[in-house]
Chain A
């Protein structure tokens, strides 16, 4: 088990902030669930890799960020785009391949980014976002700012050469980067024990000269607090941290994958650890979330998604000749 040297600084959250966290959890879950339905209806062609069950990681990390911080999400982290400021309409358009999407129909999924919002869009080569994160972090170090890069990857991507090259360089240069591993136990169909001879991805940080910590990725407040601790270190010039968030993806690798490689019992056990009811109970026990507030948030989530879907479905397709545009500046 990885050593936990990181301080889980107790960051006090106001009731309003707690409700914001709740809203994001609900919105991101609903967004992915709607996409799943749209794929089954044939309205979205493909490119849907949901993060259902893993939302606490995105919400807990992104909620701790500043506007100037940069994120390098992985393919399930659609919610991070929303939390960093991409409009739901634009995000839904992206998934529909419409002209109003981030890539104007050139690609779906999360293969597009927005520099102005501090969002990097990766390719399909998992782990290839990590060297880019190192480059972004290097510029923050050059400028002597205290901005931070948060780079996400799965336990599967931690087996790539890019993972090693990027974390090694980040360690040598003491770059302001928080590496967040979303360990959902499966790289597509391959279980973690068949792809790694160690239990915790967090242990890998030791070979790069910085700390790794393994936490419950389904506990949004644990993720938030660990992130705040790692961010504080990075902002203070103390270099990178690896936070491994243990979690589970409820759906298949993509919406076309029936995930026969795992048992119903295992899925049921992880569904009982759903991050959202856990947090709901927490809020209700502290009288932060009353019945009216709950209904209000749920209505807001539904209307936001409905509006985004309607917008995207009615949005224009790209011009055919745009297939050969925007190759060069």
Chain B
């Protein structure tokens, strides 16, 4: 019987199992050593694997990524932790210019198998610099893969896949889900392949594309619509780059209506790209414009009153789904 673990524990299990399996896997970042990480994700790793494989670094995000790249060129598979996804901007050049381009400019003769873990997302009272969802920056950069699990099972399986992938992968783990989400996670080799979406709820009337902490409120909204006789198909993207175009288009073909829900801001969020792809490739199937429910184009405020105004939730998604159903 698979045991129940939290989303955070699932991430830790993936790290531990991969480090036991492959001596080339190691972790580095701020406070990841004896302290066990700001959120406790790496707790116990230092005791099991020692300081050479659980490397505490100075506050140097650019170096954390650059060091990972250097180690990867010698056959290692480093997993770098950004303490908060918000801090990833300090390591942006190494990810975007160094890691993302290396294989291309090396004429395909090398690869950069690194994982950058980025605890992202709001609804935790984090304010401007502990709440961000910067995934779009990385989706926009060829050469990178971007994943964002929503369940403990996916958190574990996608991290394992990311570690074994030969490309740089940015792994967004949502802080709101860390301890609030529990689920069955089998021990051992359950890999969740990168690039494959999961249908969380089947329906014939509307396709709802989402990921991360927006999956649960989307499912809640879908249940409400069901009472009105509208069946919403909820697709959890799981991988944002490359996203699962086949699954998305297949569903839209069936439902003729599509909505995207994300916690990232609206302008040039992944919703804009998904909407464009659906219209380019399935325009004839659409009975209504593709709609979006997203964070407004603003920052993540501290006050819970302000933050609640911004965050998409089941009520906002329900209202938008009704509008789309009636269009």
Contact = CB atoms under 8 A, between A and B. Distances in A.
B283 interface: no
A134 B74 CA distance: 12
Contacts of B68: 135
Interface string A78-122: 000000000000000000000001111011000111110000111
A137 B104 CA distance: 24
A20 B258 CA distance: 69
A128 B93 contact: yes
Interface string A168-183: 1100100000000000
A326 B63 CA distance: 25
Contact of B142 (A101, A166, A327): A327
Contact of A128 (B66, B72, B76): B66
B106 A134 contact: no
Contact of B74 (A124, A130, A136, A325): A136
B228 to A, nearest CB: 43
B169 to A, nearest CB: 11
B49 to A, nearest CB: 12
A162 B92 CA distance: 12
A133 B71 CA distance: 9
A198 B152 CA distance: 53
A135 B74 CA distance: 9
B124 interface: no
A325 to B, nearest CB: 7
A35 interface: no
Interface stretch (B107-115, B209-217, B231-239, B269-277): B107-115
B54 to A, nearest CB: 12
A111 B63 contact: no
Contacts of B142: 327
B58 A139 contact: no
A326 B107 contact: yes
Given A136-B71, A136-B74, A169 B60 contact: yes
A307 interface: no
Contacts of A130: 66
Given A113-B110, A123-B101, A128-B97, A328 B71 contact: no
B52 interface: yes
Nearest to A72: B70
B67 A113 contact: no
Nearest to A143: B74
Interface residues of A, number: 42
Contacts of B26: 142
Nearest to B55: A138
Given A125-B93, A329-B166, A166 B106 contact: no
Nearest to A108: B105
Contacts of A42: none
A103 to B, nearest CB: 5
Contact of B105 (A121, A137, A172): A121
A135 B66 contact: yes
Contacts of B181: none
A141 B104 CA distance: 29
B123 interface: no
Nearest to A175: B67
B107 A103 contact: yes
Contacts of A327: 103-104, 142-143
B101 A162 contact: no
B161 to A, nearest CB: 14
A60 interface: no
A112 B109 CA distance: 10
Nearest to B75: A139
A161 B106 contact: no
Given A113-B73, A136-B74, 5 more contacts: A103-B104, A103-B106, A124-B97, A162-B66, A328-B143
Q: Shortest 7 CB-CB distances between A and B: which pairs?
A: A135-B70, A131-B66, A326-B108, A165-B63, A329-B166, A135-B67, A165-B60
Interface of B: 26, 52-53, 55, 57-58, 60, 62-63, 65-74, 76, 78, 93-94, 97-98, 101, 103-111, 113, 142-143, 145, 165-167
Interface of A: 101-104, 106-107, 111-115, 120-125, 128, 130-139, 141-142, 161-162, 165-166, 168-169, 172, 325-329
